[in-house]
């Protein structure tokens, strides 16, 4: 077997043509440049670290801008109280007229007294 | 990316003849063997990352491109004139060598595709059995079996 192998190895092989090198290696130079833009050159951990540092710097700058003064915001303002008096209203004689209030009270506490007449 | 292309170019320059011979054993047409190499390297130069066994990967790419060529244009039934051996019978070349080349080529063409390709890859492609197993994506034992069986058949046919 070794003898046959060495005889086979001694045979002359057909060479490729001379222009094969040009044909093959020209493709290396023709590689599209645009493909390199798709490659991420900055590692993801560095991107995340920079984002974190920027966020902390933003919060620190905001705190320094506001100073030590507490800030407050008014979220709710009490609405005026609208009351409709059904019977014996001073402004309307019609007890079934619900289109407007009989009386409007400013915002705040409204104390009511109910007087029930016997026999009414 | 540039490093990978540099490594591919080195492999091309170091194994140019071997790749051509392996591709020619499949296509049995020098032009189509060269087309296969060009096509394979066209794809290889666009690879995003370096494969694990680069040499075997390159040989596998060339082999696949050669098989594509054969699928598109089947090789001649008796393509001995355009087989892997150099037909350039110059004045220096002994007639006996030329006759032996012809007989080897004829005997190789009677082997199965797997046996012939493995003998060519091992003897003329300078690939180890482990590398051929990677190229062909077959177990090492199968590749060694193809080789030894093919070589036995070859010897028998050359002795006839």
Quote the pTM value: 0.64
- A104 forms beta bridges with A82
Average pLDDT over residues B58-83: 83
Please say if the pLDDT value at position B71 is more than 70.
yes
Query: Most B CBs within 10 Å: which of A10, A12, A18, A31, as the mutation test of the B interface?
Result: A12
> Beta partners for A81?
A105
Contact state of A24 with B37 under an 8 Å Cβ cutoff: yes
Q: Is B21 on the interface with A (CB under 8 A)?
A: yes
Q: Which residues of chain A have pLDDT under 70?
A: 29-40, 68-78, 80-93, 95, 100-120
3-state helix/strand/coil string of B38-90: HHHHHHHCCCCCCCCCHHHHHHHHHHHHHHHHHHHCCCCCCCHHHCCECCCCC
Q: Tell whether B6 is within 8 A of chain A (Cβ).
A: no
pLDDT digits (tens, 9 = 90+) for B48-68: 788 888 999 999 999 999 999
To the nearest whole Å, the CA of B130 is away from the closest chain A CA by: 18
The predicted complex's ipTM stands at: 0.81
The span from the CA of A57 to the CA of B157, in Å, is: 83
B111 part of contact set with chain A, CB < 8 Å: no
Contact B84/A35, CB-based, under 8 Å? no
Residues of A in contact with B30 (CB under 8 A): 14, 16-17
pLDDT number for residue B38:
94
- pLDDT of A120 reads 47
**Hey, where are the domains in chain B?**
2-83+92-159
Whether B85 and A12 lie within 8 Å, measured CB to CB: yes
């Amino acid at each position: 077997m070794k003898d046959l192998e060495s005889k086979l190895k001694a045979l002359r092989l057909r060479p490729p043509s001379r222009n094969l090198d040009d044909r093959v290696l020209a493709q290396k130079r023709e590689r599209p440049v645009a493909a390199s833009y798709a490659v991420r050159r900055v590692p993801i951990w560095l991107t995340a670290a920079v984002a974190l540092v920027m966020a902390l710097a933003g919060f620190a700058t905001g705190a320094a801008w506001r100073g030590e003064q507490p800030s407050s915001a008014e979220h709710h303002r009490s609405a005026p109280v609208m009351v409709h008096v059904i019977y014996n209203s001073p402004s309307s004689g019609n007890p079934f007229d619900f289109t407007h209030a009989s009386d409007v009270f400013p915002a705040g506490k409204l104390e009511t007294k109910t007087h029930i007449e016997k026999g009414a | 990316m540039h490093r990978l292309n540099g490594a591919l170019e080195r492999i091309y320059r170091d194994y140019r003849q071997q790749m051509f011979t392996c591709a020619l054993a499949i296509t049995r047409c020098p032009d189509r063997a060269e087309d296969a190499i060009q096509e394979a390297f066209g794809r290889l130069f666009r690879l995003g990352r370096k494969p694990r066994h680069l040499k075997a990967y390159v040989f596998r790419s060339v082999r696949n491109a050669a098989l594509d060529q054969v699928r598109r244009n089947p090789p001649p039934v008796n393509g001995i004139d355009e087989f892997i051996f150099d037909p350039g019978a110059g004045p220096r070349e002994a007639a006996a060598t030329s006759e032996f080349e012809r007989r080897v080529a004829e005997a190789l063409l009677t082997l199965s595709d797997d046996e012939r390709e493995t003998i060519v890859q091992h003897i003329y492609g300078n690939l180890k059995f482990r590398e051929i197993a990677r190229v062909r994506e077959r177990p090492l034992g199968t590749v060694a079996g193809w080789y030894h069986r093919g070589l036995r058949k070859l010897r028998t046919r050359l002795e006839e």
